[in-house]
Amino acid sequence: MFSTVPVKKVARVLRMQLNGEEAVAVQTDAILGTVVSSLNDPKNGLLGYLKTNRTVCKSEWAYEVCIVFDGLVNFKGFMESDIHETTVVPKLREMQELSKPNTFYTGVRVYDDI
């Protein structure tokens, strides 16, 4: 057993409850798609980006995203990058506008595939 939680991968997570209809989920997916395209664009020089996961519960309209990086150093680089400030943050604000009040949450997690 570990005496501490090892930090191998790090994820930016967001959770929200959508305003309860299919069209809003489709619109949210489109916004997320622009974020993922930016993260994958080699001209942005983003290091350590691995993947983005998205889950949706269609009965509760719960929407969750994990943007995964290969470690803390590259995650911090992402958080301090121009792409984070000029692309990701504005898109997250758009997504927040599609969520029910007081349900939008962002945080950071140690991430592992187990």
Residue 42 lies in a domain: yes
Residue 12 contacts by C-beta under 8 Å, 6 or more apart in sequence? 66, 67, 69, 75, 78, 79, 106, 107, 108
Which spans in 1-114 are helix H? 22-40, 72-79, 82-83, 89-97
**Among residues 66, 63, 34, which one has the least CA distance to residue 50?**
66
Residue 76 lies in a domain: yes
Q: What is the mean pLDDT of residues 62-77?
A: 97
Residue 3 lies in a domain: no
pLDDT recorded at residue 1: 63
Instruction: Count the domains in the chain.
Output: 1
Could you tell me if 17 and 102 are in contact, meaning their C-beta atoms sit under 8 angstroms apart?
A: no
- Each residue's pLDDT tens digit, 9-32: 999 999 999 988 899 999 999 999
CATH number where 40 lies:
3.30.70.100
Indicate the pTM of the whole model: 0.92
What is the residue range of 36's domain? 9-111
Q: Which residue has the higher pLDDT, 79 or 21?
A: 79
What does DSSP assign to residue 86? I
Residue 55 lies in a domain: yes
Q: What is the mean pLDDT of residues 68-97?
A: 96
